[in-house]
Amino acid sequence: MKLRALVVDDSRVMRGIVMNSLRKTGLAEFEFTEAESGAEAIAKFHPDRFDIVFVDWNMPQMNGIEFINLVRASHKTDHIPIVMVTSEKTKEKVDLAMKTVGATAYITKPFTPEEMEMQVGRLLALMPKA
């Protein structure tokens, strides 16, 4: 399975960690597009261009919550899993991301490759087969 993934994080190192972890899962053949802010991600985003999105919470210009709000506003992206990958761990933050703005999964930093594989594997099992 090939997946087009948008990886959004203001840290180049963290984007690399996310992409390497995803490659190591062996769940799919990933084609990555990177963005270092929510604003840059919005400029690159189109619902026909990506199959899955990984986004950090805390970024300059536009944070991950604002990005998800904009992406989900049209409801043309409801089929695209959005994974919040963040150091924010409080129940209130998780609830805001998952229940209020529409993140599909929530992974806290630091994460293990096994956690990435479990979360992404669960999402892929729910995705329609091409």
- Kind and range of the H or E run holding 93: helix 91-95
Nearest by Cα to 7 from 43, 66, 52: 52
pLDDT tens digit sequence for 13-24: 999 999 999 999
pTM: 0.95
36 to each of 55, 89, 128, how far by Cα in Å?
10, 21, 29
Q: Mind listing the domains of the chain with CATH numbers? A: 2-126 (3.40.50.2300)
pLDDT tens digit sequence for 23-70: 999 999 999 999 999 999 999 999 999 999 999 999 999 999 999 999
- Report how far residue 57's alpha carbon sits from residue 47's, in angstroms, rounded to the nearest whole number: 20
